[in-house]
Structure 1
Amino acid sequence: MQLAVDDRPVADVEVADTVLTRARGLLFRRALPEALLLRPCSSVHGAGMRVPLDVALLSADLAVLGTQVLRPWAVTRPRRGVTQVLEAPAGSFERWGLREGSRLALTSA
């Protein structure tokens, strides 16, 4: 799938939407994908991660409710209205222009 930020295609995205794919997330990967969308999901952790990640907390309609850099072993707090979480290598959101208030979309690649 392709991820778009405010109608601009920015990256390929993997969707983790089963219990197993969400549980695995980015753990034990030698190479990180451009982006990973976890749904349903309201918070994430950096346990076992070696590098920081950009994290966007999303509403059901893919509006960005908040962003943060998640350091290894840190945790995001659950937040009202968050139903999905987007993870990407640190620095990705700045390159993509993704910030609170951005609208995301998924399209077939």
Structure 2
Amino acid sequence: MKSDMSAFARPPRRNPPPMLGAWLIHETRVLASANIAVTRRERRRGLKDFDDATIPLVIPKCRWVHSFGMRFPIDVVYLDDNDTIVAIRPLRRNRIARPVMRAARVVETTPNAFRHWGLGPGDAIRIRDAEFPAAPESTSPK
């Protein structure tokens, strides 16, 4: 007799609500588009509701993170007040990272992304809010 394991299957994840958009920039080069976790809920959720970390997540005012409930490993990039990289540490699933006391914010990203971009501790990046043009005013007669 075949057992039905579908009752134990993990339900598909819903698309998480959109977050504030930003760009990660090093000197004159745009590295990636990113999301910024602004609300308490976004900060707590992190990348948990995502299927991968193709879009990095910036968490302001943060010194340490966890990966409980995540489906994939990440790299945690710790930035100081000047957005200089203090440390880059890998974080496997269902782990707690050690805090980095000099950090002011963190960026959660795919493993080796910053190494691929040729960046490491001591390099500075900029986090620039993505500005979208305002909706055009209505031209219909009043």
Q: Please provide the CA RMSD for this pair.
A: 1.6
Match of 2:108 in 1: 87
Match of 1:73 in 2: 94
Match of 1:32 in 2: 53
For structure 2, list consecutive stretches of 5 or more residues without a partner in the other structure. 1-21, 131-142
Higher relative contact order (CA 8 A, sep 6+): 1
Match of 2:80 in 1: 59
TM-score by length of 1: 0.89
Q: CA deviation at 1:30?
A: 2.8
For structure 1, list consecutive stretches of 5 or more residues without a partner in the other structure. none
- Percent of aligned pairs sharing the same letter: 29
1:105, 1:34 → 2: CA distance?
Answer: 16
1:11, 1:74 → 2: CA distance?
Answer: 26
Deviates more, 1:36-45 or 1:73-82: 73-82
Q: CA deviation at 1:80?
A: 1.9
Q: Secondary structure of 2:116's partner?
A: helix
Q: Secondary structure of 2:71's partner?
A: coil
Relative to structure 1, is the Cα distance of residues 30 and 101 closer, same or farther in structure 2, using a 3 angstrom cutoff? same
Q: CA deviation at 1:47?
A: 0.8
Relative to structure 1, is the Cα distance of residues 35 and 105 closer, same or farther in structure 2, using a 3 angstrom cutoff? same
Paired residue type of 1:24: R
Do the aligned residues in 2 keep the contact of 1:5 with 1:103 (CA within 8 Å)?
yes
Larger strand percent = 1
Do the aligned residues in 1 keep the contact of 2:51 with 2:71 (CA within 8 Å)?
no
Q: Secondary structure of 2:43's partner?
A: helix
TM-score by length of 2: 0.70
Relative to structure 1, is the Cα distance of residues 72 and 9 closer, same or farther in structure 2, using a 3 angstrom cutoff? same
Do the aligned residues in 1 keep the contact of 2:24 with 2:126 (CA within 8 Å)?
yes
Relative to structure 1, is the Cα distance of residues 6 and 52 closer, same or farther in structure 2, using a 3 angstrom cutoff? farther
Deviates more, 1:99-108 or 1:10-19: 99-108
Q: Secondary structure of 1:13's partner?
A: strand
In our comparison, the structure showing a higher alpha carbon Rg is: 2
